[in-house]
């Protein structure tokens, strides 16, 4: 059976920085595809602290943790927030929209990636949001 790297003939690097909670059940926090350019796919992240068990209650605290994790993953790939080209945000409730926009503006600055925001029931009831991203350079 061919691996993804053999099919695409491009190196694939998984990024699971130790500063984040441990990945669980067959996924990576981010997967980078390199060639003439590099594309980094960041899995949906939630607000667990590095122990993988503890999570603050507030939306703002969870959001800050997630954005800091995104920054850690980007740095592990030699990228920054300015390299984000696409975001997908899952909110547990529409009431979090304004706080979500404020966090996005804080971390992205002048960068304006493609973005989708969905309101839905998340996997765990304590999660207030989950964010996935794609970065390129």
| Res 75: pLDDT | 97
Q: Chain-wide mean pLDDT for the chain? A: 91
| Neighbour tally for 90: CB within 10 Å | 20
Residue range 113-136: average pLDDT? 95
The boundaries of the domain holding residue 54 are 4-136
Share of the chain above pLDDT 90, in %: 72
Could you tell me the maximum CA-CA distance found in the chain, to the nearest angstrom?
A: 47
43 membership: H or E segment, kind and range:
strand 38-45
Reported confidence tier of residue 81, pLDDT bands at 50, 70, 90 = very high
76 membership: H or E segment, kind and range:
helix 59-76
Residue range 111-122: average pLDDT? 93
Number of folded domains that form the chain: 1
Q: State the CATH number of the domain containing residue 77.
A: 3.30.1330.40
In order of 44, 129, 137, the CA distances from 123 in angstroms are 11, 10, 32
pLDDT tens digits, 4-53: 555 557 787 889 999 998 887 777 888 888 888 899 999 999 999 999 99
Q: Is the pTM of this model over 0.75?
A: yes
Reported confidence tier of residue 114, pLDDT bands at 50, 70, 90 = confident
Strand partners, 84: 135
Check whether 99 has a pLDDT greater than 90.
yes
Nearest CA to 38 among 71, 74, 4? Answer: 74
Residue range 58-82: average pLDDT? 97
Nearest CA to 10 among 43, 51, 41? Answer: 41
Q: Between 69 and 4, where is the model more confident?
A: 69
| Spatial distance between the Cα atoms of 70 and 121, rounded to a whole number of angstroms | 22
């Amino acid at each position: 059976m061919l691996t993804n790297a053999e099919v695409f003939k491009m190196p694939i690097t998984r990024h699971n920085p130790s500063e984040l909670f441990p990945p669980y059940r067959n996924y990576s926090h981010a997967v980078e595809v390199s060639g003439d350019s590099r594309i980094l796919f960041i899995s949906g992240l939630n607000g667990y602290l590095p122990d993988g068990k503890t999570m603050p209650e507030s939306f703002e605290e969870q959001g800050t943790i997630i954005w800091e994790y995104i920054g850690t993953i980007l740095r592990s790939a030699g990228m920054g927030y300015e390299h984000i080209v696409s975001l997908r945000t899952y909110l547990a409730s529409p009431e979090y929209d304004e706080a979500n926009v404020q966090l996005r503006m804080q971390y992205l600055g002048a960068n304006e990636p493609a973005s989708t925001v969905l309101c839905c029931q998340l996997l765990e009831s304590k999660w207030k949001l989950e964010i996935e991203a794609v970065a390129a350079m």
